[in-house]
A and B are shown apart, each in its own frame.
Chain A
Amino acid sequence: MLNVEHLSVNYGYITALTDISFHVEEGEIITLIGSNGAGKTTTLGAISGLVPKVSGKITFKGHDITKMPPDKVVKMGMCHVPEGRKIFPALTVYENLIAGSLGNPKLTKARINELVEEQYTLFPRLKERIGQAGGSLSGGEQQMLAISRGLMMDPDIVMLDEPSLGLAPIIVEDIFELILKIRDMGKTILLIEQNASMALSIADRGYVLETGKIIMEGKGKELLVDPRVKAAYLGA
């Protein structure tokens, strides 16, 4: 479904990614784990067209999207939920959700209403706060809103950038349960996380990113028990 081949990204003279390659199959949960500054966010930015690429090739559903702008990438069925939630604080929960559907012109009014109802089923807490300003929600609720706003685009693949960042452990568990539910809805998920144990425990496959290079890959459960991963990311 998504193929990244020999991707390199520079920020001026600084190399952020060096020749990374990975693939995502339909219906999978794939996770990219790594510490701060490993290049995880840059990887997602490069895929979704937010970050200019130096070299490499990215294909999505058989189409080359390497040089495609973000608006075209989204129209192809890709959704990027950026790091730090990035909701619209002055807009209400409902307006945030509707804003999520604006990037996909194929959506009819009826389908948008269906999607809103789907979000309320998936995130009942958002329904309770429908008329509340996004900025007044708690951290966990804001993260839920960011994810549901992404789902309002009706994407095939959902790319989540550190959804557990800055959240209480109990809320993190809720978020990861929701990720599994989203997969059960037929979505493919590319998850970027610093919380390696949680990410690998739900992932079909995982990749370990370090200073812009993929240094390890394997099944989620296998990486979870790998001594090198344990030592570096799980504090064992």
Chain B
Amino acid sequence: MKNMTKNKNKVYTIIALAVLIGILAFLQSDTAEYSYQISILERSAIYAVVAVSMNLLTGFTGLFSLGQAGFMAIGAYVVAIFTIPVGSRASVYYVSGISPVIANVALPIPVALLLGGLAAAVLAALIGIPVLRLKSDYLAIATLGFSEIIRAFIAAPMFDTVTNGSYGLKSIPGFPNIFAVFGLAALCIALMVLLINSSYGRVFKAIREDEIAAQSMGLNLFRYKELSFVISSFFTGVGGGMLAMFMRSIDSKTFQVALTYDLLLIVVLGGIGSVTGSVLGAFLVTSGRELLRFFDDPLTIAGVHIPLFRSGFRMVIFSILLMVVVLFYRRGIMGNNEFSWDGLSRLIRGIPDRLKKGRGKKAASKKGGAK
């Protein structure tokens, strides 16, 4: 019986993957027609990587960090600096010129992404030494501070010949197709899932649950917190590099605190401690923002101008929708659960019962009112 269920689930997974690949192939077949949809999906996939890496830290290790934007900036700048075609560099660094150290160094994109992740990880290891001795809100404030310091360094005139200061970097090579983005995102998320399900993942969860118990079991808290912080920052750096390739041009303003808050929103909405929740959250939040764009356009019905519909109104609607979701799903859409076909079938099978219950309540209240 168990084997049958396993096989069934495998079949469902293969079908789902085939459908996803089919949709992506359909969109890729006419990039001019579907460029808008492709850009939404690509951004969602990139945010999914960073959200899962944030969840690894916050949801699975219990470390509340707000430094994601800073580590994304590191990854993004490393990728940008080393992948901008050598021929285009003079036109990019036209104000202060380019440092001779990096002027002719060009790396293949996979190597640059790996280097971006490693740079973020090394910086995280250094930052972690003082910062990870702190707890909860203090840790969040410290990491947020470091994130802003990173951004300030990037924009500082003294590094103009490397980062191009406030002018930013452009002519960054993009992804060849949507499959490259999704493939890389899937690889990163799969690696993080493997880590979460390994003995290291169990240690992280133990630390999250109870630090004193974890310590009394002989776990070196600092070592494992540092490890979680470094691994999370590595994937955040890779995500930052992917974002640079997606945007094709970046500057320090791209990586403001608001970006971290967006990612935190994704993690909380999806469910702290759920990988599938983070992925789902990334796609819902990114596409949700875009799909509500029509609220920003002026609306006239039968010659009457509706004053509410104006620039920025979509964010009001988006915020209201978020509040509604949070009210109904206190622990996020997935809570700390992961997606399973059995869970989905239970959910679908339970819909009629829930509807019946709802009708029953209405009928009862009507009867009560009639009395």
How far, in whole Å, are A47 and B219 apart by their CA atoms in the complex? Answer: 16
Q: Which one, B205, B216, B220, contacts A88 given CB within 8 A?
A: B205
Q: Which of B206-214, B289-297, B304-312, B338-346 contacts A (4 or more CB under 8 A)?
A: B206-214
A82: Cβ under 8 A from any B Cβ: yes
Contacts of B215 in A (CB 8 A): 50, 70-71
Interface string of B186-203 (1 = CB under 8 A from A): 000000000000010011
Q: Which one, A73, A74, A87, contacts B213 given CB within 8 A?
A: A87
Interface string of A63-106 (1 = CB under 8 A from B): 00000011101110000111000111111000100111011100
How far, in whole Å, are A102 and B215 apart by their CA atoms in the complex? Answer: 11
Contacts A70-B218, A73-B218 given; indicate if A102 touches B213 (C-beta within 8 A): no
Q: Which one, A81, A82, A90, A104, contacts B218 given CB within 8 A?
A: A104
| Chain B proximity of A77: nearest CB distance (Å) | 10
| Chain B proximity of A73: nearest CB distance (Å) | 7
Contacts of A190 in B (CB 8 A): none
Q: Which of A172-189 contact B (CB under 8 A)?
A: none
User: Does the CB pair A71–B213 fall under 8 Å?
Assistant: no
Contacts A88-B210, A89-B209, A90-B209 given; indicate if A95 touches B202 (C-beta within 8 A): yes
Closest residue of A by beta carbon distance from B211: A86
Contacts A88-B209, A90-B209, A98-B202 given; indicate if A80 touches B216 (C-beta within 8 A): yes
Contacts A86-B210, A86-B213, A88-B213 given; indicate if A103 touches B218 (C-beta within 8 A): yes
Contacts A82-B212, A99-B203 given; indicate if A90 touches B219 (C-beta within 8 A): no
A153: Cβ under 8 A from any B Cβ: yes
Contacts of B203 in A (CB 8 A): 99, 102
A205: Cβ under 8 A from any B Cβ: no
User: Does the CB pair A102–B202 fall under 8 Å?
Assistant: yes
User: Does the CB pair B219–A102 fall under 8 Å?
Assistant: yes
| Chain B proximity of A98: nearest CB distance (Å) | 6
User: Does the CB pair B216–A82 fall under 8 Å?
Assistant: yes
B254: Cβ under 8 A from any A Cβ: no
Q: Which one, B209, B217, B223, B336, contacts A100 given CB within 8 A?
A: B217
Q: Which one, B206, B210, B217, B336, contacts A74 given CB within 8 A?
A: B217
How far, in whole Å, are A150 and B205 apart by their CA atoms in the complex? Answer: 17
User: Does the CB pair A74–B218 fall under 8 Å?
Assistant: yes
How far, in whole Å, are A164 and B136 apart by their CA atoms in the complex? Answer: 32
Contacts A95-B202, A99-B202 given; indicate if A71 touches B212 (C-beta within 8 A): no
A40: Cβ under 8 A from any B Cβ: no
Q: Which of B279-328 contact A (CB under 8 A)?
A: none
Contacts of B206 in A (CB 8 A): 88, 91, 99, 102
Closest residue of A by beta carbon distance from B203: A102
Contacts of A42 in B (CB 8 A): none
A48: Cβ under 8 A from any B Cβ: yes
| Chain A proximity of B252: nearest CB distance (Å) | 39
Contacts of A99 in B (CB 8 A): 202-203, 205-206, 214, 217
User: Does the CB pair B216–A50 fall under 8 Å?
Assistant: yes
| Chain B proximity of A42: nearest CB distance (Å) | 14
Contacts of A89 in B (CB 8 A): 209
How far, in whole Å, are A74 and B221 apart by their CA atoms in the complex? Answer: 13
A149: Cβ under 8 A from any B Cβ: yes
Q: Which of A135-160 contact B (CB under 8 A)?
A: 149-150, 153
How far, in whole Å, are A86 and B209 apart by their CA atoms in the complex? Answer: 9
Q: Which one, A90, A102, A104, contacts B336 given CB within 8 A?
A: A90
Interface string of B218-261 (1 = CB under 8 A from A): 11100100000000000000000000000000000000000000
User: Does the CB pair B205–A103 fall under 8 Å?
Assistant: no
How far, in whole Å, are A82 and B213 apart by their CA atoms in the complex? Answer: 7
How far, in whole Å, are A70 and B222 apart by their CA atoms in the complex? Answer: 12
User: Does the CB pair B210–A71 fall under 8 Å?
Assistant: no
How far, in whole Å, are A174 and B203 apart by their CA atoms in the complex? Answer: 30
B: residues with CB less than 8 A from A are 199, 202-203, 205-206, 209-210, 212-220, 223, 336
Closest 9 CB pairs between A and B?
Answer: A103-B218, A74-B218, A88-B209, A86-B213, A71-B220, A80-B216, A103-B217, A99-B206, A71-B218
Besides A74-B216, A86-B212, A99-B217, 7 new A-B residue pairs in contact (Cβ under 8 A), listed by A number? A50-B216, A81-B216, A86-B210, A91-B202, A95-B202, A104-B218, A150-B217
21 contacts between A and B (CB under 8 A): A50-B212, A50-B215, A70-B216, A71-B215, A71-B218, A81-B216, A82-B212, A88-B210, A90-B205, A91-B209, A95-B202, A95-B205, A99-B202, A99-B206, A102-B199, A102-B202, A102-B217, A102-B218, A102-B219, A104-B218, A153-B217
